[in-house]
């Protein structure tokens, strides 16, 4: 039977979802100048889902590749390949 410390050691690479949301907030602010609150951010499989308005979506779409690159560099425990 596995020791509890073995199981816990496997979880050390997993980040708190709030921490990932803080990273997204900072990247969107730096790249697009968009202020977004954490409750409007959600992760689903390989997607980043944002509950934002049309003009904000356009700004993100224009910088999507740069945003995705920064997200992949800074959020290592989750693979994000698209923004919805």
Is residue 51 scored above 90 in pLDDT? yes
* Residue 3 belongs to a domain: no
* Domain assignment of residue 77, yes or no: yes
Q: Report whether pLDDT(32) > 70.
A: yes
pLDDT tens for 54-70 read 899 999 999 999 999 99
Please determine, for residue 19, whether its predicted confidence score (pLDDT) is greater than 80: yes
In a domain, 7, yes or no: no
Quick one: average pLDDT of 25-49? 93
2 within a domain of the structure (yes/no): no
1 in a domain, yes or no? no
Full-model pTM: 0.79
Higher pLDDT, 51 or 5: 51
Would the pLDDT of 46 be above 60?
A: yes
Distances (CA, A) of 11 to 4, 23, 79: 11, 20, 17
């Amino acid at each position: 039977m596995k020791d509890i410390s073995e199981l816990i050691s496997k979880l050390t690479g997993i980040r708190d979802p709030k921490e990932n949301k803080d990273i997204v907030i900072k990247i969107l602010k730096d790249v697009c100048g968009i202020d977004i609150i954490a409750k409007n951010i959600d992760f689903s499989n390989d997607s980043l889902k944002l509950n934002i308005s049309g003009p904000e979506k356009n700004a993100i779409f224009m910088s999507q590749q740069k945003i995705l690159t920064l997200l992949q560099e800074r959020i290592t425990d989750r693979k994000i390949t698209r923004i919805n």
